[in-house]
Amino acid sequence: MNTTQAVVGVDVSKATLAVCHQVGAHMKHLAVTNTPAGFRQLVRSGGASSLYVLEATGPYYLAVAYHLVAAGAQVAVLNPLVVKRFIQMHLGKGKSDRKDAQWLLRYGQQQVTPRWQPEEALLVECRQVEQVIELLIRQKTMVHNALEALQAQPVVSPAALAQLRQTLLRLEEQVQQLETKLLTTVEARYPPEMQLLCSIPGIGRKTAAYLLLFAGGFTSFQNYRQLIAKAGLCPREFSSGTSVRGKARISKMGGALIRSKLFMCSWSARRANGACRVLYDRLVANGKNGKLALIAVCNKLLKQAFAIVTSGVPYQADFIKKATLPLAF
């Protein structure tokens, strides 16, 4: 239980911040705007030496979190699901911004919370470029489907056809330009890591860059299991007693983009990567379906990537065999 540091609960929304901090035996509530002026008022009210507990609510918490860290305060940013389970565990009833801020305060007082620090600005910018690329790819798919549907009709407007083709070409150019910029930036930031990851059969230059962005250069993970869990690729069992026998699936909690990239890589890795090929063949021979075996290959690729980047040794079949163990399904 946190008894040495004052705790401030901050429930973040797009326009306002609901604040709760304890004064003696009483809870004091405050509402400020989600603007720099509101942030200054928040620090004056809660103090620069306090621990501020927030939820990761989309992009809206970032500005206040950056301001608090710059002001010298300590910040904890929690997964909303963790807070929700905490409230349920204490049989909380009802919901409002004031109550949510109070629950965040209680969480910070009762639980050990890791301190949040802003990420490197270059990585944040690269992830924003990555998000725009994915948005443009989705738009390109929509335009491509619309173009096919238009061409299948017996009567086709030349103006509509020309406009869709022009839009599709422009989107392809934009995606290519942004991908080139992103890869160049990541290679300049992580030159040795890029070379190490590209030495793994099945992982190309683009996937290596996305993986480095996802893992933040592999500096915040103590073992490969944490990396697999963040990617949402860890198996999750669903069974209870003798009656509940659900199918084991991956958790899919976070990392959707890197999962899709790794799944595409798994097709080539099961042929070119010796350890992945052995794993895939063994699972298929044991009766597992091909998709599950490919997911196991994705796990193997992450394990190889972690071992290679953290050791600084390029891919070697014998080294990988000793450094990682087969994934049990």
pLDDT at residue 97, rounded to an integer:
92
pTM: 0.80
The reported pLDDT for the residue numbered 154 is: 94
**94 is written with which tokens?**
């009802």
Q: For strands 51-55 and 7-12, give the pairing.
A: parallel
Which of 202-208's residues contact partners 24+ apart within 8 Å by CB, and which partners? 202/265, 202/266, 202/268, 202/269, 202/270, 202/272, 202/273, 202/276, 202/297, 202/301, 203/265, 203/269, 203/301, 203/305, 204/265, 206/179, 206/261, 207/261, 207/262, 207/264, 207/265
φ, ψ of residue 53 to 5 degrees: the values are -110, 120
Residue 228 identity (one-letter amino acid): I
pLDDT digits (tens), the chain, 329 positions: 555 789 999 999 999 999 999 888 889 999 999 999 999 999 999 889 999 999 998 899 999 999 999 999 999 999 998 999 999 999 988 889 999 999 999 999 999 999 999 989 999 999 999 999 999 999 999 999 999 999 999 999 999 999 999 999 999 999 999 999 999 999 999 999 999 999 999 999 999 999 999 998 888 888 888 888 888 887 665 555 655 555 656 656 667 888 888 889 999 999 889 899 999 999 999 988 888 889 899 999 999 999 999 999 998 865 445 444 433 33
Contact in structure between 108 and 53 (CB atoms under 8 Å): yes
What is d(CA 147, CA 154) in angstroms, rounded to the nearest whole number?
Answer: 14
Instruction: Give the CA radius of gyration of the chain.
Output: 24
Closest CA to 266 of 279, 254, 253: 279
- How far, CA to CA in Å, does 76 sit from each of 175, 183, 257? 36, 32, 26
What pLDDT shows up at residue 235? Answer: 64
Residue given tokens 């173009």 in the structure block? 147
Write the CB contacts of 17 (distance below 8 Å, at least 6 apart in sequence). 10, 11, 31, 32, 33, 34, 38, 42, 64
